[in-house]
Structure formats: structure tokens, C-alpha cells
């Protein structure tokens, strides 16, 4: 059982609008636009397929009225779809890109309301998928209606079935789910500080916090730190991966690419050092391209040689 299941409870259509010199409160002229399937789980699934991972399943909630947009996207990439459908349309999020300023303004809608019955239906579906799949990635925010501990209960259920569970969420949902001890988490620096109650931590305090989390029952902790690179903690070790200088086209999906890289490395039994290097290359590839084909093996391999890895000791 080597299939990867990505779970996106609150997906979206990303409507990206390119506006030179975007100014709030003024009339702005659109230079270009694009519509993409959004949601962290969809991104992870796409990055894995781009890399050549054959068996990937996407699940979560979708609105019935625009399900074709998402299902077409998945079918084109040969990603299996198995969703719980809700009344209405899946939300559309707006991203305003000013390439000159290298700024992105996000306008995110809350998503479709999900009642308890629908939440239970997704858990039953995950239980069914767990009979034939080993790797689960729980991604993104929870839709309105689901309690903050929904991911926590889901992690516990899947872990009790002997599954590998990665978690990439934020806020109270992350705090609750950490208690269920997922195998992998990937907070950003703000989320990390919130989890541990830190304010303006020193580098040593960050490393100590990572080691504490990685010794609490969570196997692997990845902390993204933007252009400075990323830290990876596991089995008493902390590795720092530094990417090469790149021209950033878009930051959309870069963190999801890092998660996909960690999963891809784990699937082939790589060491922490190897996974750190691979996932950093995934993220760098995502930063420099939009659309499909961002994390092909060729693109990933071409950038891996320029990534530096070192063990952090304090």
C-alpha cells in the first residue's frame, strides 16, 4: 500500500489577477488573469504527480455546482477523485499579483458550510480509503461548520489504523491536532511561535523548540523560513537546508511543494538529509513556475545540486 491520499476540506478556485502597480482605493487595470484549482491538498497531489508518483488520490469536500472544474483538473493529471459533495459552489479566492512590486494580495472567502453529517461522511470515506492506502496528507483550513478538533480526531483515527499522517494546517486546528501526534507537520515561523508560545525567538530557541516538538511523538517537523531556507527536525537531529538564489515568480504553493517533497522522499525511504534536500528543491521549483509541470524530476534534479545542507548543533 503506497498510495498517497491528500485531504482538502476547504478547497477553492484561485482567480489570479495580474495588475501592474496595484493600488488599493484606486481604479486598477488588469493585465492578465488565470483560474486555477486551489487548495493545499490539490497542490500536494499535483506536485507528487509532476514528480512521477503514480498512485495519488484527492478527497475532501466539493460544491456540487462547480464540481466539474475540479474533477476535470484531477482527471487531466490522472489523480483519482473521491469527494463528499455539498450543496452550492466551492468558493473562489482572489489573488492580486503585482509583478513589479513582487507583491501578492490575497482575498479569501470562508467556504461552504459543512454540517456534522457531512463531516462524518468524510471520516467514513477516509476509513474506507485507509483500507487500500498508507499515506495521508491533511491540508489547509477547515470549512465553516466543522469544529477545531476535526483534524485531531481524523489524525487519531488514521493513526489507530497504522497510517502515516502528515498535517499542514494553522490556528486552533493545528494546536488541537498536534495533540494527536501526526507523523509530519510543517508550520511556518508564525505558526511555530504560536504553538510554543514564543515571541521573537533566537535561532537557538527555534532549534530547541523544533527538537522538543520532534521528541513529543511527532516524528518529523519542518519549519519553513522563506528565503533563509528551511529547518527539519527528526530523531534528535535538526538539519538546515538553504536553497540557491532564484527569481521568484509566485509564492503560491511553495509550502505545499515542500510537503510533497517530504512525502516523495519518505515513499522511497530517504534519510532526513535527503528528504530535506528534495523538499527544498520541490519548493524552489514551485517558486519559479506557475501551472502544471512545476516539480518534474528534471526540474527538481537541476536545482538539487545547488542546495546546501548542514546539521545544526547548539
Catalytic residues: 256
Q: Residue 309 sits in which domain range?
A: 184-314
Identify whether residues 178 and 188 lie together within a single domain. Answer: no
Identify whether residues 173 and 239 lie together within a single domain. Answer: no
Residue 201 contacts residue 271 (beta carbons within 8 Å): no
Domain boundary among 182, 207, 224: 182
In this prediction, what percent of the chain has a pLDDT beyond 90? 84
| Residue 237: predicted pLDDT | 94
pLDDT in tens, 124-170: 999 999 999 999 999 999 999 999 999 999 999 999 999 999 999 99
Cβ-based neighbours of 162, under 8 Å, separated by 6 or more = none
Domain boundary among 182, 213, 239: 182
Identify whether residues 192 and 270 lie together within a single domain. Answer: yes
Identify whether residues 289 and 165 lie together within a single domain. Answer: no
Identify whether residues 163 and 300 lie together within a single domain. Answer: no
Identify whether residues 53 and 177 lie together within a single domain. Answer: yes
| Residue 263: predicted pLDDT | 97
Domain count, the chain: 2
Residue 201 contacts residue 189 (beta carbons within 8 Å): no
| Residue 102: predicted pLDDT | 82
pLDDT in tens, 245-262: 887 777 778 899 999 999
Identify whether residues 191 and 165 lie together within a single domain. Answer: no
**pLDDT band at 219, cuts 50/70/90?**
very high
**pLDDT band at 13, cuts 50/70/90?**
very high
Domain boundary among 163, 182, 201: 182
Identify whether residues 93 and 228 lie together within a single domain. Answer: no
User: Phi and psi dihedrals of 122, rounded to 5?
Assistant: -70, -40
pLDDT at 277 over 80: yes
Mean pLDDT of 270-293: 91
Identify whether residues 178 and 276 lie together within a single domain. Answer: no
| Residue 251: predicted pLDDT | 74
pLDDT at 227 over 70: no
Identify whether residues 222 and 142 lie together within a single domain. Answer: no
Identify whether residues 158 and 240 lie together within a single domain. Answer: no
Identify whether residues 308 and 282 lie together within a single domain. Answer: yes
pLDDT in tens, 63-75: 999 999 999 999 9
Closest by CA position to 184, among listed 155, 205, 147, 153 = 155
Cross-strand bridge partners of residue 35: 15
**pLDDT band at 2, cuts 50/70/90?**
low
CATH code (residue 54): 3.40.1190.20
| Residue 313: predicted pLDDT | 85
Residue 222 contacts residue 186 (beta carbons within 8 Å): yes
| Residue 94: predicted pLDDT | 95
**pLDDT band at 104, cuts 50/70/90?**
confident
pLDDT at 218 over 90: yes
Amino acid at each position: 500500500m503506497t498510495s498517497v491520499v491528500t485531504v482538502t476540506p476547504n478547497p477553492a478556485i484561485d482567480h489570479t489577477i495580474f495588475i501592474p502597480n496595484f493600488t488599493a482605493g484606486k481604479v486598477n487595470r488588469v493585465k492578465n488573469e488565470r483560474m486555477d484549482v486551489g487548495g493545499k491538498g490539490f497542490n500536494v497531489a499535483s506536485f507528487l504527480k509532476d514528480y512521477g508518483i503514480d498512485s495519488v488520490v484527492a478527497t475532501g469536500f466539493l460544491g456540487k455546482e462547480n464540481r466539474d472544474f475540479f474533477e476535470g483538473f484531477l482527471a487531466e493529471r490522472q489523480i483519482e477523485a473521491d469527494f463528499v459533495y455539498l450543496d452550492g459552489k466551492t468558493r473562489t479566492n482572489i489573488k492580486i499579483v503585482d509583478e513589479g512590486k513582487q507583491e501578492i494580495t490575497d482575498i479569501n472567502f470562508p467556504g461552504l458550510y459543512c454540517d456534522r453529517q457531512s463531516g462524518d461522511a468524510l471520516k467514513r470515506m477516509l476509513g474506507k480509503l485507509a483500507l487500500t492506502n498508507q499515506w495521508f496528507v491533511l491540508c489547509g483550513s477547515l470549512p465553516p461548520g466543522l469544529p477545531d478538533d476535526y483534524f485531531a480526531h481524523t489524525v487519531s483515527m488514521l493513526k489507530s489504523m497504522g497510517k502515516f499522517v502528515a498535517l499542514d494546517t494553522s490556528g486552533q486546528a493545528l494546536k488541537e491536532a498536534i495533540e494527536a501526534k501526526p507523523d509530519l507537520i510543517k508550520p511556518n515561523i508564525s505558526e511555530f511561535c504560536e504553538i510554543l508560545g514564543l515571541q521573537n525567538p533566537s535561532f537557538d530557541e527555534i532549534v530547541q523548540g523544533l527538537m522538543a516538538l520532534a521528541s513529543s511523538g511527532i516524528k518529523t517537523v519542518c519549519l519553513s523560513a522563506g528565503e533563509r531556507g528551511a529547518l527539519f527536525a527528526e530523531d534528535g537531529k535538526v538539519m538546515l537546508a538553504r536553497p540557491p538564489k532564484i527569481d521568484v515568480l509566485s509564492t503560491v504553493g511553495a509550502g505545499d511543494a515542500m510537503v510533497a517533497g517530504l512525502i516523495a522522499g519518505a515513499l522511497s525511504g530517504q534519510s532526513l538529509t535527503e528528504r530535506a534536500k528534495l523538499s527544498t528543491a520541490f519548493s524552489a521549483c514551485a517558486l519559479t513556475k506557475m501551472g502544471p509541470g512545476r516539480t518534474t524530476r528534471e526540474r527538481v534534479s537541476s536545482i538539487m545540486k545547488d542546495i546546501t545542507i548542514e546539521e545544526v548543533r547548539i
